[in-house]
Chains A and B, each alone.
Chain A
Amino acid sequence: MTKTSFSNLQPEYLALVDHNKCVRCKRCIQNCGWGTYSFGGDKILADHSKCVACGRCYTYCPEGAISIVKNPTVIRENANWKENLVQNIWRQSETGGIIISGMGTTFKYKKYFDHILLDACQVTNPSIDPLREPMELRTYLGKKPAKLDLGMDENGEPVLKSKMPPQIELQTPFVFGAMSYGSISLNAQKAIALAARALGIVMNTGEGGLHDDLVPFGKNIIVQVASGRFGVHRDYLNSGIAVEIKIGQGAKPGIGGHLPGEKIGLDISRTRMIPVGTDAISPAPHHDIYSIEDLRQLIYAIKEATDYEKPVSVKVAAVHNIAAIVSGIVRAGADIVYIDGYTGGTGAAPNIVRDHVGLPIELALAQVDERLREEGIRNEASIIAAGSIRSSADAVKAIALGADAVAIGTAALIVMGCHVCGKCNTGNCSWGITTQRPELVRRLDPEVYGERLYNLISAWSHEIQEVLGAMGVNSIESLRGSRERLRGVELTDAELKALGIKHAGL
């Protein structure tokens, strides 16, 4: 090996095996999707450079013999030339490529949810005990008329004169975010579908078409139409409860997607309707949408194709002018607008976009809700907020800022074992989530993780009920947009203004 073939990049993590504890069962070799471990004849060997700290090996080591530690070898500290910047320079100078990662940004931006406090009742109005009183979380997504269109029946009783526009009924204000078959495995999608059905909520196909195995879950599925139009045909549009046009994604606003040919096996090729082994490239824009009026055409083309029986959602990334953009989308005829903040997840995105483009969902949501109200069209569309909803508290705050429901993506993957290693793009996910390798996929049991997803959303729903009760309201619609119940801490005047909330104490 000549000197020039050495890499400056040192392993980020060390996979340390305690050989006194190790019984050489080789489970770690089997479990690691990255090929970190091998058997050296008498003991386990670890190639640290392959370790991504996905946590699979030590979770499944029966002897507890493995520990993954941050490589203690330092790159000399420098607050300006931070470690990851130096590493990226080495990486790019060695490869000449764009740096790509999975998951949302790892940057430490301000998390506005963590600077918002909730209100509760004391004395002047009573809190309500959710264990003793009904506490309603049911949510309807879709266009609502501004006023009730009422007629009278023969007995003089009021009846609905015109039918309501189509709605998605959610038993709790959560939906699973769009994650395509291809970006995640079929088993992961099945787990989500099982949970969505049991919870009375919906999942989203992403731009990967609808696998035959998921067709029976249609009532709990939003089918997506994105710029590559993969898997889109008439039956597909009609097989879900709603159709979503994906314009952008929080982790990568303004750019498209790329599922490499090696991941396109027979099953994915059938589902996406493309030849086996070809790259699935979603263009950055829809090539039939170069303006808002084009979006309107696509919305109505889909409504025509689905007989006006399905709400049409439009998913956009939160970008600087988001309020005006969403206003345009609503006026273009969307029934639901899905806004994805910059911390949202992805299967793969260039780091420069993932880490530097977009807006926090809290600010985007607050601005959009306010704008639609100012224009008197807030009822015309429901809003789904997304972009790393990490807990029920985030969900409550998002709803109080104006969201009708929130979307769960990364959190759902964490349920399935994801340790947010951010290497989804490689297809080596040891947990069988973001991989198409059959030996990895089959370890993810849809029933087991379907139940855990159900548990998580149920638990979060109970927590929301507790908070609603503490606030003295017994229906989620009394929290929605009720910013009076929020206060900011450690926020500047500009931030408070953008969020439309007051500082704590006022």
Chain B
Amino acid sequence: MLRIKNKFNAERDISGCGLCGIINAKKVKTNGSDIKKAISVEHDRGNGLGGGFAVYGNYPDYAELYAFHIMYDNLSAKTDVETYLKNNFIIEKEEPIATLRTSKIYDHPYLHRYFIKPKTDRQDKLFHELGDDDFVVNSVMLINQNYDGAYVFSSGKNMGAFKGVGYPEDIADFYKLEEIEGYMWTAHNRFPTNTPGWWGGAHPFTLLDWSIVHNGEISSYGINKRYLEMYKYNLALRTDTEVITYILDLLIRKHRLPIRLALTVLASPFYQNIDKMDSGRKELYTALRQIYGSALLNGPFAIVFGYLGGMVAMNDRIKLRPLVAASAGDFTYVASEEAAIKAICPFPDIIWSPKAGEPVIVEFEEKKVPQKGEMIRL
């Protein structure tokens, strides 16, 4: 039987993983074959129970609309969800997501995408004045929680997630990624350890235009989850990745923290280093820890985080998981293993291992690729 939601008893889903990311700072597009090649080198970092990709810039014709990738376990769920969507959104276009049934991926949910925008006179306006983004977030949580047999893969603008149960190279073939073009790609190969793979649990995990691929286990999951619940996030998936996504959503979108500061919440500097800072920064970073201590991601992780403005890759505060970065011209590559980068870019300009807690940030606007050591000052 297909599972698209986590029906397991376990409180949370733990996994080890491999990951990759490619970004072109000038938004030059590449198709999915590079990222597929890179992640396939990390084949042994997964166990065939989850693979996935996120791509940005793939829907230029519908760039102003929220692109919902939804998977369905059964057609009645589709009818129910579509009723909800019709009531609350203007659906500009809808279509099945193109797939290719292969010998590797033969058992899959029904996959459909919608290009939509919230109605201005939607019903919930009677009760509150949510912005479009907030309403989309609420809708995603509502569908994922209340509509049995339906699950929203991704909901951002001009981006999409393509994921499922299988090795990532097989998932790439299944979604025909070589026919899709984007200026930023992330990929994930999953090794779940306490629950069998399920489609919804594959990475990337996305919310609006955030997408996250993640290798690690957040040892502070318990308090991160309770912290987010205080801000009314519904943690239905029980995965670390979901927690990371929501924390970033809270910090960046709701609390309006600059992205660099938000990242120092995830992997905050140690007090022994904060105490050595000049008084203004010491005050700032101490306050950051005092206020957001419960959002600190403690435990091993390497994440690659994509958003409309660029890509971020980073490690936990003592680098307990591998992460390598390289740049070649306008391209920046990140991966769990150097070999994955070398497979698609044999001679990068520079290749380095980012330090613990120091994010590699590539932003489109700046049209600039970071050099070694040119990262956030902590």
A residues contacting B by CB (< 8 A) are: 121, 123-126, 128, 133-134, 136, 138, 140, 144-148, 150, 153, 158-160, 164, 167, 373-374, 376, 378-379, 471-475, 477-485, 502, 506
11 chain-A/chain-B pairs, Cβ below 8 angstroms: A124-B14, A124-B193, A125-B300, A134-B272, A158-B284, A167-B290, A477-B289, A481-B223, A482-B220, A484-B12, A506-B9
Residue from the list B232, B255, B271, B320 in contact with A148, Cβ < 8 A: B255
Q: How far is the CA of A162 from the CA of B14 in the complex (A)?
A: 40
Question: Which chain B residues border A471 with CB–CB below 8 Å?
Answer: 219
Q: How far is the CA of A385 from the CA of B258 in the complex (A)?
A: 36
Question: Which chain B residues border A373 with CB–CB below 8 Å?
Answer: 226, 229-230
Question: Which chain B residues border A480 with CB–CB below 8 Å?
Answer: 223, 293-294
Task: A125-B320, A159-B284, A376-B231 given; name 18 further pairs at CB < 8 Å.
Answer: A125-B216, A125-B299, A136-B270, A158-B258, A160-B283, A373-B226, A373-B229, A478-B220, A478-B296, A478-B298, A479-B220, A480-B223, A480-B293, A480-B294, A481-B223, A482-B221, A484-B223, A485-B222
Q: How far is the CA of A147 from the CA of B253 in the complex (A)?
A: 12
Question: Which chain B residues numbered 158 to 210 have a C-beta less than 8 Å away from chain A?
Answer: 193-194
Bin the interface of chain B by size.
35 or more
Smallest CB-CB A-B distances: 9 pairs: A484-B222, A477-B293, A482-B222, A478-B220, A478-B298, A472-B219, A125-B217, A473-B298, A482-B223
* Chain A residue nearest to B285 in the complex (CB): A160
Q: How far is the CA of A502 from the CA of B11 in the complex (A)?
A: 10
What DSSP secondary structure best describes chain A's contact surface? loop
Question: Which chain B residues border A136 with CB–CB below 8 Å?
Answer: 270-271
Question: Which chain A residues border B194 with CB–CB below 8 Å?
Answer: 124
Question: Which chain B residues numbered 206 to 242 have a C-beta less than 8 Å away from chain A?
Answer: 216-217, 219-223, 225-227, 229-232
Question: Which chain A residues border B270 with CB–CB below 8 Å?
Answer: 134, 136
Q: Check B350 for interface membership: any CB of A closer than 8 A.
A: no
Question: Which chain B residues border A124 with CB–CB below 8 Å?
Answer: 14-16, 193-194, 217
A148 touches B11 (CB 8 A): no
Instruction: Please give the distance in Å from B169's CB to the nearest CB on chain A.
Output: 24
User: Given A158-B261, A477-B296, A478-B298, is A164 in contact with B223 using a C-beta cutoff of 8 Å?
Assistant: no
Instruction: Please give the distance in Å from A155's CB to the nearest CB on chain B.
Output: 11
A148 touches B287 (CB 8 A): yes
* Chain B residue nearest to A400 in the complex (CB): B222
A474 touches B318 (CB 8 A): yes
Q: How far is the CA of A374 from the CA of B229 in the complex (A)?
A: 8
Question: Which chain B residues border A148 with CB–CB below 8 Å?
Answer: 255, 257, 261, 287-288, 291-292
Q: Check B280 for interface membership: any CB of A closer than 8 A.
A: yes
CB 8 Å contact bits of B9-37 with A (1 = contact, 0 = none)? 10110111000000000000000000000
B residues contacting A by CB (< 8 A) are: 9, 11-12, 14-16, 193-194, 216-217, 219-223, 225-227, 229-232, 254-258, 261, 268, 270-272, 280, 283-284, 286-294, 296, 298-300, 317-318, 320
B291 touches A144 (CB 8 A): yes
B300 touches A145 (CB 8 A): no
Residue among B225, B294, B318 having the largest count of chain A Cβ atoms under 10 Å: B294
Residue among A123, A148, A474 having the largest count of chain B Cβ atoms under 10 Å: A148
Question: Which chain B residues border A475 with CB–CB below 8 Å?
Answer: 268, 293, 296, 298
Instruction: Please give the distance in Å from B296's CB to the nearest CB on chain A.
Output: 6
Q: How far is the CA of A378 from the CA of B255 in the complex (A)?
A: 17
Instruction: Please give the distance in Å from B43's CB to the nearest CB on chain A.
Output: 20
Residue from the list A153, A158, A473, A502 in contact with B220, Cβ < 8 A: A473
A133 touches B291 (CB 8 A): no
Residue from the list B219, B227, B254, B284 in contact with A473, Cβ < 8 A: B219
Residue among A124, A146, A472, A480 having the largest count of chain B Cβ atoms under 10 Å: A124
* Chain A residue nearest to B10 in the complex (CB): A506
* Chain A residue nearest to B261 in the complex (CB): A158
A159 touches B280 (CB 8 A): yes
Q: How far is the CA of A128 from the CA of B299 in the complex (A)?
A: 9
Q: How far is the CA of A126 from the CA of B298 in the complex (A)?
A: 11
Q: How far is the CA of A125 from the CA of B15 in the complex (A)?
A: 9
Question: Which chain B residues border A138 with CB–CB below 8 Å?
Answer: 271
B290 touches A164 (CB 8 A): yes
Question: Which chain B residues border A128 with CB–CB below 8 Å?
Answer: 318
* Chain B residue nearest to A162 in the complex (CB): B287
Instruction: Please give the distance in Å from B214's CB to the nearest CB on chain A.
Output: 13
Residue from the list B220, B257, B287 in contact with A160, Cβ < 8 A: B287
Q: How far is the CA of A36 from the CA of B67 in the complex (A)?
A: 86
Question: Which chain A residues border B223 with CB–CB below 8 Å?
Answer: 477-482, 484
User: Given A373-B229, A472-B299, A478-B219, is A484 in contact with B272 using a C-beta cutoff of 8 Å?
Assistant: no
Q: How far is the CA of A373 from the CA of B193 in the complex (A)?
A: 31
Question: Which chain B residues border A473 with CB–CB below 8 Å?
Answer: 219-220, 298-299
Q: How far is the CA of A481 from the CA of B221 in the complex (A)?
A: 11
Q: How far is the CA of A158 from the CA of B257 in the complex (A)?
A: 9
B291 touches A379 (CB 8 A): yes
Residue among A123, A376, A474, A485 having the largest count of chain B Cβ atoms under 10 Å: A474
Q: How far is the CA of A128 from the CA of B317 in the complex (A)?
A: 12
Question: Which chain B residues border A506 with CB–CB below 8 Å?
Answer: 9
Q: How far is the CA of A167 from the CA of B225 in the complex (A)?
A: 25
Question: Which chain A residues border B317 with CB–CB below 8 Å?
Answer: 474
Residue among A153, A167, A480 having the largest count of chain B Cβ atoms under 10 Å: A480
* Chain B residue nearest to A402 in the complex (CB): B226
Instruction: Please give the distance in Å from B140's CB to the nearest CB on chain A.
Output: 22
Q: How far is the CA of A380 from the CA of B111 in the complex (A)?
A: 45
Instruction: Please give the distance in Å from A330's CB to the nearest CB on chain B.
Output: 13
Instruction: Please give the distance in Å from B221's CB to the nearest CB on chain A.
Output: 6
Instruction: Please give the distance in Å from A437's CB to the nearest CB on chain B.
Output: 45
Instruction: Please give the distance in Å from A120's CB to the nearest CB on chain B.
Output: 10
User: Given A133-B318, A472-B219, A473-B219, is A160 in contact with B290 using a C-beta cutoff of 8 Å?
Assistant: no
A126 touches B261 (CB 8 A): no
* Chain B residue nearest to A404 in the complex (CB): B293
Instruction: Please give the distance in Å from A154's CB to the nearest CB on chain B.
Output: 12
Instruction: Please give the distance in Å from A466's CB to the nearest CB on chain B.
Output: 15
User: Given A159-B284, A473-B299, is A481 in contact with B222 using a C-beta cutoff of 8 Å?
Assistant: yes
